[in-house]
Amino acid sequence: MNEGRGVPELLPVRMLNEFVYCPRLFYMEWVQGEWADNAYTVEGKIVHRRADRPTGELPAAEDERSFVARSVHLSSERLGLTCRMDVVEGEGGEVVPVDYKRGKPRSGERPLYDPERVQVCAQALILREHGYRVPRGEVYFAASRERVPVELDEELVELTLRSAREAKEVAASDTLPPPLEDSPKCDGCSLSGICLPDEVHLLEAESTTQDAPRVRRLHPARDDAVPFYVQRGGTRLGLRKGLLQVRERGELLAERSIEEVSQVSVYGGVQVSTQALRGLLQRDVPVAFFSAGGWFYGWTRGLGRHNVMLRRAQFRAADDSARCLSLARRLVATKIANQRTLLRRNHPDPEDALDRLSRLRRRAEEAASLAELLGLEGTAARIYYERFPGLLRVQWPDFHEGGRSKRPPRDPLNALFSFLYALLCKDWTVTLATVGLDPQVGFYHQPRFGRPALALDLMEEFRPLIADSTVLVLVNNGIVEPADFLRRGPAVSLRDSARKRVIAAYERRMSELVTHPVFGYRISYRRILEVQARLLGRHLMGEIETFPEFRTR
């Protein structure tokens, strides 16, 4: 291992391919441990299924027998390279490495790109280090079933060895390489939603005098996988032949392919089988646990991301009181601005409240301490919730008398707020952990046992946009009514039947396409959460100067 960074001495040849293609992609995959599949990577895995099954043997270099060996592992300490070759073919004392690719070769005099040529050349050099005679390499394209030879000339050998040296130097650095600028390589890259190349360039340009570049939406507007909720007490969640199944006394109530699930939420007395939990953990699908009333207890997930550098940057920032205050100001000011926007759009007579919220937002932007921010946020919340009944087409009992009550909610509307805030907190917790941040370590909400402080931080500006907007839909459209709630002593909670309707409305809101106020493209709220979380990571790592707010107009 190299000292300091802890980079392995042997560079995988596949990573060398990535480095020649894009140094940033290489760094994110090999150093930071990032990965995401898309249609191209899944297709590539399918193409490699046969080559990935070890068959045949690689004979000694002196053996001139003909052979075909698949999934051959070799390394060279002198070259500092290691690889798993898809296929090695031998005949008459000469061997040829064959690398499998999906798709077709490009037309023209140069059918192969440099990353493909370098990858095969590196395999050939490793074979030569072990004494084999390697006259050339080949690339096999599955779509066209063509083989394209790779000539091992001096220029290609020098490019390969130089790229290997440069890749190790980049890996040993603390600095993430800059994203490519307006490159066609980004379109179709599986890590484009993690890298955010155009977004980073735009935010860098805004902090300087550069002209703002165009921003492409390189990642999906919505995710294919969706959350799966199990709410009925006494049911059991199991896994059978790749299907998550909900059963009650043996009767099948619901099922969903585990491949189509992004997260699982269970409420109250739902049992989760070991097989289901293990299958979900293997796919890094989180399982969130709630009380029957909707209180978010916590969650279980797999090993997750390996980007220790990001978490170290987060912990350093959390120990810096000035950085905490700067981020907290932005979060609270944006939350107040979004509360004001919701009132402005929906309240019949909001003028006095709008002026007061505007003044509080400006004061929040200049607050001298977290304690002052807490006071300003509390004052803004009191004004906001006092006016909230004016957004409703029907009057709900008790809310206007006591305002916002949390532990426990003391009226139906507060129970609705608390339930939806718990869902939003869960989604932020899952999102933050997915991108490699620690949900427990915040900047505005201070760490406390069992509290996802960073999730609470980042959900602040989204409370009015997602949760409170969902409340308006539920109430004004008659989807839920006061009769849909139970009262137990001072506490009020949703009935089981109503909870399903509330979750459905929340998920519709999360799937709704909206225009990002900074980047201008349309994506779902659920995807926006991930984009914002990744941009926070870029800010903490020092790549972008400011963390962009999500403020609606």
pLDDT by residue (tens digit) across 128-166? 999 999 999 999 998 899 999 999 999 999 999 999 999
- Is residue 406 classed as helix, strand or coil in its secondary structure? coil
3-state secondary structure 326-346: HHHHHHHHHHHHHHHHHHHHH
- Note the pLDDT of residue 150: 94
Domains along the chain with CATH numbers? 11-171 (3.90.320.10), 226-300 (3.100.10.20), 308-511 (1.20.120.920)
- Torsion angle, CA of 12/436/39/200, rounded to 10 degrees? -100
CA 20-26-27 angle, 5° bins: 135
Laid out side by side, the sheet with 296-300 consists of: 226-230, 261-267, 287-290, 296-300
- The Cα 384–Cα 339 span in angstroms is 7
Classify strands 136-141 and 94-101 as parallel, antiparallel or unpaired: parallel
Q: Give 352-377 pLDDT, tens digit per residue.
A: 889 999 999 999 999 999 999 999 99
Query: What are the tokens at 303?
Result: 């090993």
Element (H, E) at 87: strand 81-91
Q: Determine the Cα–Cα distance for residues 341 and 7; give it in Å rounded to an integer.
A: 49
Query: From the CB of residue 374, how many other CB atoms can be counted at a distance below 10 Å?
Result: 15
For β-strands 11-12 and 243-248, DSSP reports them as unpaired
How many helices and strands, by DSSP H and E, does the chain display? Answer: 18, 18
The answer to whether 179 touches 203, Cβ cutoff 8 Å, is no
**pLDDT the model gives residue 330:** 95
C-alpha 221/C-alpha 199 separation (Å) is 15
- Model pTM greater than 0.75? yes
Helices (H), 399-524: 399-402, 412-435, 453-459, 469-476, 496-511
Q: What is the maximum span of the chain, computed from C-alpha positions, in angstroms?
A: 91
pLDDT category of residue 395 using cuts at 50, 70 and 90:
confident
Q: Give the span between the Cα atoms of 323 and 539, in whole angstroms.
A: 11
pLDDT in the model for residue 82: 95
Cα 452 to the chain's mean position, in Å?
A: 17
pLDDT digits (tens, 9 = 90+) for 313-327: 999 999 999 999 999
Contact between residue 78 and residue 129 where contact means Cβ atoms under 8 Å apart: yes
In DSSP notation, 1-70 reads --TTT---SSEEHHHHHHHHH-HHHHIIIIIS------HHHHHHHHHTTTTTS-BS----TT----EEEE
Q: Is 98 exposed, middle or buried (0-12, 13-18, 19+ CB in 10 A)?
A: buried
- Is residue 121 within 8 A of residue 137, CB to CB? The reply is yes
Which is more confidently placed, 259 or 21? 21
Q: Which two tokens stand for residue 410?
A: 């003391």
* 425-480 confidence digits (pLDDT tens): 999 998 998 888 999 999 999 776 667 899 999 999 999 999 999 999 999 999 99
Buried b (16+ CB within 10 A) or exposed e, 266-296: bbbebebbeebbebbbeeebbbbbbeebbeb
Give the pLDDT score at 4.
Answer: 43
- Looking up tokens 């061997």 gives 95
The pLDDT of residue 3: 40
- CA 276, chain centre distance (Å): 23
Q: What backbone phi and psi angles, to 5 degrees, belong to 452?
A: -75, 80
The pLDDT value recorded for residue 6 is 60
Q: Which residues contact 331 (CB under 8 A, 6 or more apart)?
A: 443, 444, 457, 458, 460, 461
Looking up tokens 């709900």 gives 396
Tracing tokens 């999934």 back to the chain, one arrives at 71
282-299 mean pLDDT? 81
Query: What whole-number distance in Å separates Cα of residue 464 and Cα of residue 381?
Result: 11
Residue 89 Cα distances to 57, 96, 97, 111, 141, angstroms = 10, 5, 6, 22, 16
User: Is the Cβ–Cβ distance between 75 and 11 less than 8 Å?
Assistant: no
* Residue with more model confidence, 159 or 216: 159
CA 261 vs. chain centroid, Å, equals: 14
405 pLDDT tier (thresholds 50, 70, 90)? low
Output the CA–CA distances (angstroms, integers) from residue 353 to 331, 341, 379, 467, in the order listed. Answer: 20, 11, 11, 20
DSSP string, 217-275: --S-SS-SSEEEEE--TT-EEEEETTEEEEEETTEEEEEEEGGGEEEEEEESS-EE-HH
Mean confidence (pLDDT) of the chain: 88
**In this structure, what token pair is assigned to residue 9?**
């001495």
Is the pLDDT reported for residue 501 higher than 50? yes
Q: Kindly state the tokens that stand for 361.
A: 């937002």
What is the Cα–Cα distance from 400 to 385, expressed in whole angstroms? 8
